[in-house]
Amino acid sequence: MFYRKNVGSKEGWLRVLTGGLMAACALTLIGPTTLGLLLTGAGVFTALTGLVGFCPACAMVGRKPVEGPPR
């Protein structure tokens, strides 16, 4: 891998769920306006950080990588 995960599995699933909900709500409630598309992009980015397990914003503020399960 080219990166070390800094988002845990439970937080990752939560990010996927909330990112999808954010994108769906932005498109249905606001519509395809500039603000709606901007919020949809933020939701997609949030969902992708959950799927990949790496958040660049968390890395910039110094969040430590997630350690694997004990062996």
Q: What tokens does 41 get?
A: 């992009």
Q: What tokens does 66 get?
A: 């997630």
Could you report the per-residue pLDDT of 20-34, keeping only the tens digit for each?
Answer: 999 999 999 999 999
Dihedral pair phi/psi, residue 54, rounded to 5° = -130, 130
Q: What tokens does 26 get?
A: 């932005």
- Name the residue with higher pLDDT: 30 or 2: 30
Alpha-carbon torsion, ordered 22, 27, 28, 31, to 10 deg: 140
Answer for the pair 19, 60: CB distance below 8 angstroms, yes or no. no
Q: Which pTM does this prediction carry?
A: 0.81
